[in-house]
């Protein structure tokens, strides 16, 4: 077993397809298959089950994936620890973001990292908020910015900011641009985040407390689906400003403050006891500084900094 085999295996595991993995690794598929076979022989276990639709990991294969991520990150950490200054810090850093948060900070963060620490290769993992804790625990990402994160054993949780929630509508909706009532929202078709989702739970609780019901047009797990539905005028949604800021700036979507004052908290989550990694520390410093700057210059409305 060697590092190259682990790198190959991780890519196959994540793509669940030998052809796509080989293309992304820039190696021939027979050579990739041979390396995976050698790894299975060396470990004396079956790691992958090959089928017509790709490959699926065995129980042992999933276990190896988690350990391989840790091993490969420790290799990157060792390189970074030997760096003497920011310009020499190198290695890969993965950050997990909910789709809404990614729309606000992903591109500015990439530019900032490339400017301040060009040796760092940043990976943005954009996934539903309900899965962010899991990818931190599994070592898939170095840290996440998780909405409404509850305390979990083994995770260090640092509150960063509170985001107000808005009713987001198509411009054709006949609503005042100022605060809207929950009764007004009840008259609209809504597309909302799928359960389990803390934001959705807050919306449901607000309607239950007001003894009202809403018309559910559809559900989706990420804002990447919710926002296009609003943009097309199919339904309204309740999300933070970050989820639709390009559309709001261009006038395609209109935000309305809620008189019920719904909000969510964004926390930085990382594994307790994770090895020291200057590259990760640098990216954490850059992302927290970026968030503070966006809020202070009013580019990210409806937010309150907590650090």
pLDDT over 90 at 158, yes or no: yes
Contact 119, 92 (CB under 8 A): no
Tell me the mean pLDDT in the region 220-229: 91
Q: Which of 14-23, 32-41, 110-119 has the highest mean pLDDT?
A: 110-119
CB-CB contact of 258 with 137 (8 Å) = no
CA 160 to chain centre: 15
Return the pLDDT at 137. 86
CATH for 3-64, among 1.10.10.10, 3.10.20.30, 3.40.50.720, 1.20.58.390?
1.10.10.10
pLDDT digits (tens, 9 = 90+) for 242-298: 999 999 999 999 999 999 889 999 999 999 877 788 889 999 999 999 999 999 999
Reduced to 3 states (helix: H, G, I; strand: E, B; else coil), residue 47 is coil
Q: Is the pLDDT of residue 235 over 60?
A: yes
Please give the CATH number for the structural domain made up of 86-307: 3.40.190.290
Considering only CA atoms, which of 161, 3, 166 is closest in space to residue 75?
A: 3
Which residue, 162, 164, 136, 160, is CA-closest to 267? 160
Whole-number Å distance between alpha carbons of 19 and 33: 10
What's residue 81's pLDDT?
61
| Tens-place pLDDT, residues 110-136 | 999 999 999 899 999 998 888 888 889
Per-residue pLDDT at 50 exceeds 80 = yes
Better-predicted residue by pLDDT, 90 or 191: 191
pLDDT for residue 122: 94
What does pTM read for this prediction?
Answer: 0.73
At 83, the pLDDT band (50, 70, 90 cuts) reads low
Output the CA–CA distances (angstroms, integers) from residue 28 to 11, 24, 32, 80, in the order listed. 14, 10, 6, 31
Across 23-112, the runs of DSSP E, i.e. the strands, are 48-51, 54-57, 91-97
Task: Give 302's DSSP letter.
Answer: S
What per-residue confidence (pLDDT) applies to 38? 87
Record the tokens describing residue 230, joined without a space: 């609003």
Q: Which pLDDT value is given to residue 275?
A: 77
Beta carbons within 8 Å of 155's beta carbon, 6+ residues apart: 133, 136, 137, 149, 269, 270, 271, 272
Residue 26 pLDDT grade (very low, low, confident, very high; cuts 50, 70, 90): confident
CA distances from 41 to 37, 38, 151 (A): 6, 5, 41
CA 53, 59, 65, 68 dihedral sign is negative
**Distance (Å, whole) CA 10 – CA 68:** 7
- DSSP letter at 141 equals S
Parse the chain into domains and list their residue ranges: 3-64, 86-307
DSSP state of 236: B
Q: What is the mean pLDDT of residues 181-206?
A: 92
Q: What is the pLDDT of residue 200?
A: 93
Query: ω before 41 within 30° of 0 (cis)?
Result: no
């Amino acid at each position: 077993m060697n590092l190259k085999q682990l790198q190959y295996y991780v890519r196959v595991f994540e793509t669940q397809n030998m052809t796509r993995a080989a293309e992304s690794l820039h190696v021939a598929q027979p050579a990739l298959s041979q390396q995976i076979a050698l790894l299975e022989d060396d470990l004396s276990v079956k790691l992958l089950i090959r089928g017509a639709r790709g490959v699926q990991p065995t129980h042992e294969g999933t276990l190896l994936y988690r350990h391989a991520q840790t091993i490969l990150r420790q290799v990157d950490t060792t390189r970074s620890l030997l760096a003497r200054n920011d310009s020499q810090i190198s290695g890969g850093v993965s950050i997990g973001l909910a789709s809404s948060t990614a729309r606000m900070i992903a591109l500015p963060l990439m530019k900032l990292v490339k400017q301040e620490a060009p040796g760092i290769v940043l990976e943005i993992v954009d996934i539903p908020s309900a899965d962010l804790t899991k990818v931190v625990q599994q070592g898939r990402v170095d840290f996440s910015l998780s909405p409404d994160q509850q305390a979990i054993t083994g995770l260090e949780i640092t509150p960063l900011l509170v985001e107000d929630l808005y009713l987001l509508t198509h411009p054709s909706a006949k609503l005042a641009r100022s605060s809207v009532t929950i009764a007004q929202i009840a008259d609209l078709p809504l597309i909302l985040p799928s359960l389990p989702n803390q934001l959705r739970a807050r919306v449901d609780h607000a309607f239950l407390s007001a003894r009202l019901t809403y018309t559910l047009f559809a559900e989706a797990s990420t804002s990447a689906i919710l926002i296009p539905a609003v943009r097309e005028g199919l339904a309204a949604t309740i999300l933070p400003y970050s989820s639709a800021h390009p559309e709001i700036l261009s006038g395609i979507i209109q935000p309305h403050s809620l008189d019920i004052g719904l909000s969510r908290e964004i926390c930085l989550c990382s594994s307790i006891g994770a090895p020291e990694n200057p590259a990760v520390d640098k990216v954490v410093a850059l992302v927290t500084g970026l968030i503070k700057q966006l809020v202070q210059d009013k580019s990210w409305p409806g937010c309150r900094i907590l650090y």
